[in-house]
Structure formats: structure tokens, C-alpha cells
Amino acid sequence: MVHNPHVEKHFTAPESVKDIVIGMSDGLTVPFALAAGLSGAVESSGIIVTAGLAEVAAGAIAMGLGGYLAARTDAEHYALEKAREERETDELPEVEAEEVAEIFRGYGLAEDLVWPVVNSIRADKKQFVDFMMRFELGLEEPDPLRARNSAFTIAASYVAGGMVPLAPYYFMSSVESALIASVVVTLIALGIFGYVKGKFTTPHPGRSAWQTVIVGTLAATAAFVIAKAIG
């Protein structure tokens, strides 16, 4: 009897998707709210486009820098904790070994098997430290290019998202018509984005789609109403 090999399918790029979600969700929502708000206060598509582009540029830089600094902080935290573990391995080897033994006991490993496994791991200092970093502290070694890639991904996603609600104002001189078109294309984009995001991150992509649409709608409506009231 022929058995087909079991192939596990797991999503393996959570960090990149998280960056895209952060950049795209804000890129779609913030310029959308800004354009809607300005549409309630001004009657020039040119002003809205100019303000929108300025916001997209500033937002992309700010969010990209935020992503870079966050990733750098994670890398520095990992390096600090690893240096501490390496020092404790040299100064308190038996204490560290007991901590690893406790990890295996927590998984239900029989006592007569615990120490042979611990001694096997601690025979290699690098392996010993890596094991403690992952299973004692719950830390994974970050990609050295993570900070740069995160900054670029978030910024690019923000720009891509921000261009969607602003696009109608490029081609329509009537602010009212451009606003209606912007609402339509942005809500469609939010729905598609929310669904795709849900496919990667939740078992309910449909729910993710309508939740994303609702958030964008509320933000734009609030901005429009406030601008209209002030104007």
C-alpha cells in the first residue's frame, strides 16, 4: 500500500505580513480620513491631493522609522539577554542546568531521562545557550536584516495604501464626485485587504474584511463630520 508523504503547510513569514498589515491598514485609513475631512472643508481637489501626498510622505517616513526602531530594539534586547545567559552559563552552570531540567519536567519527561538529555545539550555551550534563549526566555534570534526590511516594507505598504483614497482627486475636479469615488474604491480596497489579511492571520477572513471596512468607514466619517462642523 502506497502512502503519500505528509506535508505540513504552515505560514512561515509572519513578520513580513505583520509589517504589510501595519503599513497598509494605516495607509488606507489615515489618508482616507484626511481626504474625507478636507472634502468637507475645502472645494479644491488640488489642495486635497497636496495635503494627502504630504501626509502619505510623512506617515510613510514616521511608520518606517518606527518599524526600524522596533526591530532594532528587539535585536538589542536579544543580544543583551544572550550575553547574560552566556555569562550565567560560565558562572552558574549547575543552576542553568537545573533550569533546563525544569523545562523538560514541565513537558512530562521522566526523571530518569531528564539529566541525560540536559547533559547532552550542555555539552555544547552554544547549543545550551540557544536552547535556553528559546525555551526558557521564549526569544528567537532576529534576522540581522529585520530592521531594514521592516522599515522598507512598512513605508512601501503605507504609500501603496495611501495612494488608493487619493487617486480619484487626481482625475476629478469636483470634490464631491472625487469623495464619492474615493469612498467606493477605498472601501473595496479595505474589504479586499481585510480579507487577504484574514486568510493569513485568522480562520475567518470574511469577518476580518468587514471589520477592516468598518474601521475605515468610522475614521473617514468622523473626519468628514468634524471638518464639516468646523467649516
| Same domain as 213, residue 176 | yes
Q: Which domain holds residue 47?
A: 16-74+145-230
- Same-domain status, 47 and 149: yes
Q: What are phi and psi of 169, to 5 degrees?
A: -70, -20
Chain segment 3-25, per-residue pLDDT in tens: 555 445 545 557 788 888 888 88
Do 103 and 158 lie in a common domain? Answer: no
Same domain, 155 and 222: yes
Q: Which residues, including other chains, have CB under 8 Å from residue 37's CB and lie 6 or more apart?
A: 220, 223, 224, 226, 227
Q: Give the number of domains in the chain.
A: 2
Could you report the per-residue pLDDT of 169-209, keeping only the tens digit for each?
Answer: 988 888 889 988 998 998 888 888 888 877 777 777 888 88
Residues 151 and 220 in one domain: yes
Q: Which of 136, 162, 178 is the last residue of a domain?
A: 136
Check whether residue 85 and residue 131 sit in a common domain. yes
What share of the chain in percent tops pLDDT 90? 20
Quick one: pLDDT band at residue 90, thresholds 50, 70, 90? confident
Do 67 and 94 lie in one domain? The reply is: no
Q: What pLDDT score does 7 carry?
A: 47
Predicted pLDDT of residue 54? 94
Q: At what angle do helices 45-91 and 146-171 cross, to 10 degrees?
A: 170
Position 97 in a domain:
yes
